[in-house]
Amino acid sequence: MISPAATEALATFLSQMTALRGAAKNTTEAYQADILGFLAFITQHTAAPQGLNALKAITVQDMRAWMAFERGRGVGARSLARSLSAVKSFYAWLAEREGFEPTAVLSTRAPKFQNKLPRPLTKDAAVKVLDNLEVQATEAWIGARDVAVVTLLYGCGLRISEALGLKGRDAPLADVLRIKGKGGKERIVPVISAAREAVDAYIKLCPHPSEPDMALFRGARGGALNPRLIQKVMERSRLQLGLPATATPHAMRHSFATHLLGAGGDLRAIQELLGHASLSTTQAYTAVDAAHLMDVYERAHPRR
């Protein structure tokens, strides 16, 4: 059983993540699940409730036992690395608050794994998806809404949460948008004319009156649009067009970055447009572009 003191400490840590670092709800929920899983294992492993004093006494052997247990139940290297990162963040915060040395936890090495490359669509496929979204809807305004949302993902590189986070007051769209992304980080995103026109077309057809503080994109009953609905229409489109399962809403954002890079876009500028905290995250798109070039080379070179 996890002690009340440890439970209270975790709750405080998560609330500070939200208040001070602007962590999204999904992020704090993932951290909570990972850390609770760790605490539950340690409680069982040591056969004792994990109060704060017990947490301070965690050893390298305890950490190894936890990681072995996680791998033994089928947790992949990527997921385990994420869980370890959450545990380390919690311990770094707890050590500062309680005044103890967290070396045993912080020195634990994450398992190695190979980063997955982004899976963008081709330019033709991205255009076909947008065309297909408009004709598959049962109502014209819903088709216009879906096109507007996905155009913002592909035309401006927004995350789906960022597109659906737009309010009525943001329309009509200006030449640039001020977007608050992960961790509360703000960035300025240029808005292409196709995106402005798609949003304008949606607003004209939408039966629900626009309100400044309401979500710009609305569901059939007038509430904020659920991201799952955009995932579903993308799923139908990819089945109809014969596209791979990787053709998701987020793939449209990947396509935005990859196509910009392929057209000679500057990597630093693309980093800013996407809102990546680290350039290394954006650099994954250079590997995608190189892989595409090698594929073209292998298929087209006369001496292949």
State the catalytic residues. 159, 182, 250, 253, 276, 285
**Closest-CA residue to 155 (of 196, 114, 108):** 196
| Whole-angstrom distance, CA of residue 62 vs CA of residue 65 | 5
Alpha-helix runs per DSSP H in 157-192:
160-164
**Closest-CA residue to 134 (of 146, 152, 151):** 146
Would you tell me how many other CB atoms lie within 10 Å of the CB of residue 287?
12
**Closest-CA residue to 137 (of 146, 128, 148):** 146
Helix %, strand %, coil % for the chain, to 5? 65, 5, 30
